[in-house]
Copies of this chain bind each other. A is one copy, B any other.
Amino acid sequence: MVYRRTHQVVKRLAARRSAILAAARNAAAEGGMAAVQIAPIAVRANVAAGTVYRYFPSKADLISELIADVSRDELSAIRRAADSAPGPSSALAAVVTTVAVHALSQRKLAWGILAEPVDVDVTASRLASRRAVVDEIAGRIDAAVRAGHLPAQDTNLAATALLGALHEALVGPLAAENTDDAGKLRDAVQTVTLLALRAVGVMDARARGLVVQAALPAMAAAGA
């Protein structure tokens, strides 16, 4: 053989792969999943359409990896927030607030990742993404239940419901469109967090306290 991949080439290939994924992510963040089309993404990434297929077998694979990427980022933010909370109830509040803040800070992306119509089948990776977040929430509810702060319940169902509530209220089509007014966004986050905590059985008064405690670090972490 008279050709072998040298380190330099390997690096360039990896960079190109990232560039394509980043282009897809930007497109999704700007125009939702509908904007994730091979030709425009190729343009953004400064490659030809055919090149995309040298890195991803199909559009479905590209989107799946995009979803996994975004999901991974969100999960780590959630874990970080939860782990630096003082107790199980605070951790739960932190998780919920973080999910809410993330959803709001990149609404189109969040909606695209989670629910927006796509022409290819990405059910599996969407499911995995959802499941991961739900599991995280469920785990925190569970911890609060074990600590005696919440009544016993079907934590998985509860976590699923919370995720649905947060997304519908914040990024769904009925969510208010004021992305600009930071105060209103803060209010919305706090309101849905309060709802979520009460839903799983936190007493109103205590829930209000937890909401306030969780708000600051979450907003700060999001750079808002």
Chain A residues in the interface with B (C-beta under 8 A)? 115-119, 123, 126-127, 130-131, 134, 151, 153-154, 157-158, 160-169, 172-175, 188, 191-192, 195-196, 198-201, 204
Could you say which of B126, B199, B204 contacts A195, with CB atoms under 8 Å apart?
B199
Which of A151, A167, A168 has most B Cβ within 10 Å?
Answer: A168
Could you say which of B123, B157, B201 contacts A198, with CB atoms under 8 Å apart?
B201
Could you say which of B174, B196, B198 contacts A130, with CB atoms under 8 Å apart?
B174
Q: A195–B161 Cα gap in the complex (Å)?
A: 8
Residues of B within 8 A of A115 (CB): 115
**Residue of B at shortest CB range from A156?**
B174
Least CB distance, A199 to chain B, in whole angstroms: 4
**Residue of B at shortest CB range from A131?**
B174
Residues of B within 8 A of A195 (CB): 157-158, 161, 199-200
Residues of B within 8 A of A191 (CB): 153-154, 157-158
Q: Would B160 and A164 count as touching, CB distance under 8 A?
A: no
Q: A195–B160 Cα gap in the complex (Å)?
A: 11
Residues of B within 8 A of A157 (CB): 169, 188, 191-192, 195
